[in-house]
A and B are shown apart, each in its own frame.
Chain A
Amino acid sequence: MEKKKAVVLTVRYRPPRSLAPRHRRRATGLLVASCIVGAAFGQALPEGQWHAPAGDPANTRYSPLQQIDRHNVAGLRLAFRFPTDTRTGLEAAPLVVGSTMVIVTPYPNHLYALDLSTPTATLKWRYSPSPAPASQGVACCDAVNRGVAFDQGRLFFNTLDNQTVAVDLETGRELWRTRLGDIRRGETMTMAPLVAKGKVLVGNSGGEMGVRGWLTALDAADGHIVWRAYSTGPDADVRIGPDFKPFYGQDRGRDLGVSSWPPDAWKTGGGNVWGFVSYDPKLDLVYYGTANPGPWNPEQRPGDNRWTAGLFARRPDTGDAVWFYQFSPHDLHDYDGVNENVLVDLPWQGTPRRLLLHPDRNGYLYVIDRASGEVLAADPYGGAVTTSTGVDLKTGKLLYNPRTEPRLGKAVRDICPASPGAKDWQPSAWSPRTQRLYIPRQNLCQDATTYAASYIAGTPYVGADVKIRAGAGGHRGAVTAWDPLQRRAAWQVTEDLPVWSGALVTAGDVVFYGTMDGEFKALDATDGRLLWRFRTDSGIVGQPIAYRGPDGRQYIAVLAGVGGWAGKIVSLGLDGRDPTAALGFANAMKDLPSRTRPGGMLYVFALP
């Protein structure tokens, strides 16, 4: 029975940019034909579908569809809506596989499948994993979920209470579930899995609870754990062996995940894996970032705190580390290294290279050789950086500014960017047509004091009081179109509120994103001009996608439901009179409760 389903959906995808437009059209024709007859079609591209939150394993969030373009997008109309029955932050991307759309909600992590072959997209099935209610109390940044992955007829997602679940796409039947962590230690799971070579790659959250971070590979067929790679501790736990060849000298040595910490502090040291995972099938490497070290108070953990706030390249089969680069050694400001890694092939200074683009929370956009781990460029992309003076490209080291280094009992002012960084989890989109990275981001600074935090398992392990506010210019967000070859912004659109939604860019040269007060917007990818907007019922913190419906029309879909770290002042009803609420984010968002309200709705748009 399972086999039959696998046949219907045996589809593989490659980054669409690898195809010439002529071939792309042919592949689309094949796809539509095969969807109609429900036949297997081996290697053909499911162009127009959306099988992973990032659209492809390179994490480009680029759709090759061009029915909706910058000339006609102004005519976009609502096609249908679907209520999610939730009131917390909807950070996920919908998936589209064949004629089925799949969405996952924040806690209680409902999974809905909609039948796109019906005009109003009727509900095909609903699956509810019933996670433990207590898990809500250990989720640092709202009870969010960032999406579902699809492979071979199966859907994979994580529950807030640390279970990875596989569900049959056609029936909604649970195939397996594996428990991977423990909420009593403050552990949760919020990230979207990535499937590579039959392995479901998942990571944990809990950097504010002293949770030791890991990435785990599960067998897609039965859910058994194939390997687990920790972000701290002895080399054996980190899966560092003879193949590990980091580019920079400071990352070479024995058991650095132990020796770069005070005794035993690596056991509660964070380095969680809650961002997106990328995969390059040619190099056979997966890429993912590790989060902040715990606690935030850096004076409690002298040392470089490896392997936190950095980037791992690993083999998907074994989990063996191939290289590592640390964006923020001995992180001082909660600059997690988990932001997305977008894999692009570009001529770098005249030579074609396999590159990785990473806009980090520390304020720099890194261009990295993804085969070797060498940093080729690191430029400020989101306003002034006061916490460091730059990145030394010879040594790869971040050059800290001593003025903003936290010290016990000292109020450190004008820390830019603030703890959520120049951007946080909200993923950027890469257009191979314009060769620009469209970055949704914040413009925030903060003041902070630190104090000694006690470690009590299952409670926060932070040791900092933070007060976040708008950065220079007074606006709190922006969308930046970054040109990695010119190493500068091609254009930038400012937003009053932080842009906490993901970005999407299409072959029609349109960039889509949402605002926290509920405006879904389309910009001209070439110059940033506003082309269209639509007011939703709640702030948007989700990831927009594009797909071709069974009727052959192009659709744009996004979930609207305010929340997440930036929006929990609304979704959880926090009190903005305390500037340190929501780890200091409430101070910057005091006006949000009067500008939007909690909600949960899928919006899908099309041309009339």
Chain B
Amino acid sequence: MSSRCLDMTLCAALLLALPLAGCEREMRRFDTPPKATDRAGPQGAALRPGPFASAPGGPDAQARSMSQVPRQPPPGYEENAFAVAQGKRWYRWFNCNGCHANGGGGMGPALIDATWRYGRQPGDIAETILQGRPNGMPSFAGRLNEEQLWQLTAYVRSMSGQLRADVAPSRSDALSAGEPESRRETQRPGRR
């Protein structure tokens, strides 16, 4: 076998392999619907309403645990594409999208716009997730570990363009989810 022929075979193989690799990169593996006995995601007791409502423990307990939320995430979340992509998974896994849709809002407010009722810093958002807020945001305390909390926080911030474009997700498995997070202009808050 001549080396030229070998080259040609290699080239052909490469040409075949390239689009296949492309397919693999783009392929979506959807979760199969869970059986009723084997439901995906966390479940259990009802979530608590946000603070100042009739939450167990009262305002004092809430204030104590609020003070435990660090104001800044540890390094490795807001600058890390994997962490943000994981946050995007939790966003759907914990039904955040049920209320906030793919950022435009629904039962809860929009997350892709420039309005933050309770602040746009990572600590503000983590606090909202952990403690809940009085007008309907439930408390997810005890449902996420700290890593998941900061991943989710980073993703929520990416939705309004607060993170670097090369860190924010660039694709979505949702139907017509609008502009990818990585291409969103940074929204500047009107207040706070």
Chain A interface (Cβ within 8 Å of chain B)? 132-140, 182-185, 208, 261-265, 297, 299-301, 408-409, 411, 447-449, 451-462, 465-467, 568, 572-583, 586-587
Contacts and interface: CB of A to CB of B under 8 A. Distances in A.
B98 A137 contact: no
A449 B175 CA distance: 6
B58 interface: no
Nearest to B30: A409
Contacts of B52: 133
Contacts of B94: 454, 456, 459
Contact of B104 (A300, A449, A580): A580
Contacts of A265: 36
Given A132-B53, A453-B40, A580-B102, 12 more contacts: A132-B54, A137-B108, A408-B33, A448-B175, A456-B43, A460-B99, A462-B98, A568-B106, A573-B115, A576-B104, A581-B105, A586-B101
Nearest to B96: A459
Interface stretch (B13-21, B59-67, B134-142, B147-155): B134-142
Interface stretch (B4-12, B69-77, B176-184): B176-184
B160 to A, nearest CB: 10
Given A134-B49, A265-B36, A575-B113, A139 B107 contact: yes
Given A139-B107, A458-B47, A465 B174 contact: yes
B169 interface: no
A296 B135 CA distance: 25
Residue of A456, A458, A581 with most partner-chain B CB within 10 A: A456
- By DSSP majority rule, is chain A's interface helix, strand, loop, or mixed? loop
Contacts of B134: 133-134
Contact of B95 (A140, A263, A459, A572): A459
**Interface SS of chain B:** loop
Interface string B163-181: 0000000000111111100
A454 B93 contact: yes
A140 B98 CA distance: 10
Nearest to A139: B107
B41 interface: yes
Contacts of A460: 95, 98-99, 107
21 contacts: A133-B134, A134-B135, A136-B136, A137-B50, A137-B137, A262-B35, A300-B33, A300-B34, A408-B33, A453-B40, A453-B95, A454-B93, A454-B95, A455-B43, A457-B44, A458-B47, A573-B109, A576-B104, A578-B110, A579-B177, A581-B106
Interface of B: 28, 30-37, 39-50, 52-54, 92-95, 98-99, 101-110, 112-113, 115, 132, 134-138, 143, 173-179
B118 to A, nearest CB: 14
Contacts of B176: 447, 465, 467, 579-580, 587
Contacts of A465: 102, 174-177
B27 to A, nearest CB: 11
B105 A297 contact: no
B95 A447 contact: no
B175 A447 contact: yes
Contacts of B37: 262-264
A481 B121 CA distance: 54
Contact of A135 (B30, B104, B108, B136): B136
A330 B136 CA distance: 31
Contacts of A587: 176
A456 B41 contact: yes
A137 B107 contact: yes
A408 B174 CA distance: 12
Contacts of A576: 104
A457 B95 CA distance: 10
A448 B105 CA distance: 17
